[in-house]
């Protein structure tokens, strides 16, 4: 059974880019759940940041060849992890299922049928928000991974605006959950009230519909687009070369109609797909009400390809800091470290460190990392990439470090990028 354990409070020395840096003492607000040397969750106050849960044995190998078995094992692992953190499945406010399935609508529907038959046994209506995203995982034979956020206690409000998009797959899941001053928004999709896809083959129409739905959810929670602290865009595109950035800019020019200025922090990730082959985009986010916030925008940082964008690297609000997806790029949105996963990973962690420092934070304050990477085309290459990332992470964060959810993507906003990482941190005061 998982057990709760506190990080030690002894300062330590780490090596980074050849320099020895002294970290601050570990943030006493962070209470990790450690199992087999891995941080399965970190509790900070009432919030529980859960690492990606899969169907694995003690050696990290996939268990079960079918969706039903793997789903049950993953949700049982989630249940045990939450219990060790002093939470229950009823405290889950947001969950995402990253899954592997062949490109066929019938196969995807069958996969989701099996998934729903299991997970609906763990969530009662009104359940948490949901997203289902097809991608790659980093364990051979793994079919799915569950990522989750939980909030223990607090007044909970289900957000279900009149006339919002419908789903053809019934279930106990909510469009949004508001707890205190936090708004958790599930995957917003380009669907009509009956769950029919809008704008087939048209990324601009689908983007417009998804972001309109996102803003509607924020308003339902008493906020606005300025309340959005974290916003992730998952999109489907298999082009290469300059077409990658051209597609992202086409999509983003629509997104900017709905984004605040300055914008939320977040990530733009090219995924394998969604619940149907024709769906091109989904967006989700976390909002926090209140105007007392600090934009984390380091000087001499990497930048996006759209000039005058007023996009944001991170936000600090209350006791939380949201560091948007950091990439290995220069100030012209050109990748740095082409074909070198180690160089790009070091650059990304450097950018995370700089962004944290803007808010008076460092690596010891990080509760959760989301690691998105392109791992190659065979399992040996995937294992090599993942180990390089893990080794560099350990230099900065120690072991076992923060909770981590890691997925393999088909690409990013710009060509030649291999990795993007988000960080969630907690203040000490």
What Cα–Cα distance (Å) separates residue 230 from each residue in 50, 123, 154, 422? 17, 25, 21, 10
Report the pLDDT value the prediction gives residue 25, as an integer from 0 to 100: 60
- Average pLDDT of the chain is 93
**Cα separation, 290 vs 277, whole angstroms:** 39
Q: Is 10 exposed, middle or buried (0-12, 13-18, 19+ CB in 10 A)?
A: exposed
Residue-wise pLDDT tens digits, 73-91: 999 999 999 999 999 999 9
Q: Let me know: does 289 contact 317? Beta carbons within 8 Å.
A: no
Strand 129-134 and strand 47-53: the pairing is unpaired
Report the pLDDT value the prediction gives residue 377, as an integer from 0 to 100: 83
> Is residue 313 included in any domain, yes or no?
yes
Residue-wise pLDDT tens digits, 265-283: 999 999 999 998 899 999 9
Give strand pairing partners of 197: 191
> Is residue 8 included in any domain, yes or no?
no
> Is residue 5 included in any domain, yes or no?
no
Could you tell me the pTM of the whole model? Answer: 0.93
User: Number of structural domains, the chain?
Assistant: 1
> Is residue 90 included in any domain, yes or no?
yes
As given in the structure block, the two tokens for residue 17 are 């880019």
Residue-wise pLDDT tens digits, 340-351: 999 999 999 999
Q: Domain range for residue 293?
A: 14-426
């Amino acid at each position: 059974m998982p057990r709760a354990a506190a990080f030690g409070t002894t300062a330590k020395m780490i090596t980074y880019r050849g320099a020895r840096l002294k970290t601050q003492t570990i943030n006493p607000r962070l209470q990790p759940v450690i199992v087999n040397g891995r941080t399965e969750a970190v509790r900070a106050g009432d919030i529980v940041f859960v690492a990606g849960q899969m169907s694995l044995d003690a050696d990290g190998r996939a268990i079960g060849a079918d969706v039903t078995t793997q789903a049950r094992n993953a949700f049982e692992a989630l249940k045990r992890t939450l219990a060790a953190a002093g939470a229950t499945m009823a405290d889950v406010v947001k969950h995402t299922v990253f899954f592997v399935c062949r490109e066929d609508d019938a196969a995807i529907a069958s996969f989701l049928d099996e998934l729903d038959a299991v997970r609906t046994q763990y969530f009662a209506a009104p359940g948490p928000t949901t997203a289902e995203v097809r991608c790659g995982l980093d364990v051979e034979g793994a079919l799915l991974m569950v990522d989750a956020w939980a909030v223990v206690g607090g007044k909970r409000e289900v957000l279900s605006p009149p006339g919002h998009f419908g789903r053809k797959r019934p279930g106990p899941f909510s469009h949004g959950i508001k707890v205190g001053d936090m708004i958790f928004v599930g995957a917003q999709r380009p669907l009509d009230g009956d769950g029919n896809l809008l704008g087939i083959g048209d990324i601009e129409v689908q983007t417009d519909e998804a972001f309109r739905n996102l803003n509607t959810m924020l308003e339902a929670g008493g906020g606005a687009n300025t309340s959005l602290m974290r916003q992730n865009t998952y999109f489907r595109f298999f082009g290469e070369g300059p077409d990658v950035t051209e597609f992202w800019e086409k999509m983003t020019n629509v997104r900017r109609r709905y984004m605040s200025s300055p914008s939320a922090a977040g990530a733009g990730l090219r995924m394998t797909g969604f619940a149907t082959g024709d769906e091109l985009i989904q967006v989700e986010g976390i909002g926090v009400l209140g105007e007392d916030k600090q934009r984390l925008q380091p000087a001499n940082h990497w930048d996006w390809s759209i000039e005058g964008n007023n996009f944001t690297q991170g936000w600090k609000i209350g006791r939380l800091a949201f560091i948007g997806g950091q990439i290995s790029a220069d100030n012209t949105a050109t990748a740095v470290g082409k074909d070198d996963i180690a160089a790009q990973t070091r650059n990304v962690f450097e950018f995370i460190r700089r962004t944290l420092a803007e808010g008076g934070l460092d690596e010891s304050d990080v509760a959760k990392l989301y690691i998105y990477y392109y791992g190659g085309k065979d399992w040996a290459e995937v294992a090599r990439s993942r180990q390089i990332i893990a080794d560099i992470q350990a230099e900065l964060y120690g072991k076992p470090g923060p909770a981590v959810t890691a997925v393999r993507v088909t690409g990013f906003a710009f060509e030649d990028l291999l990795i993007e990482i988000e960080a969630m941190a907690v203040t000490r005061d």
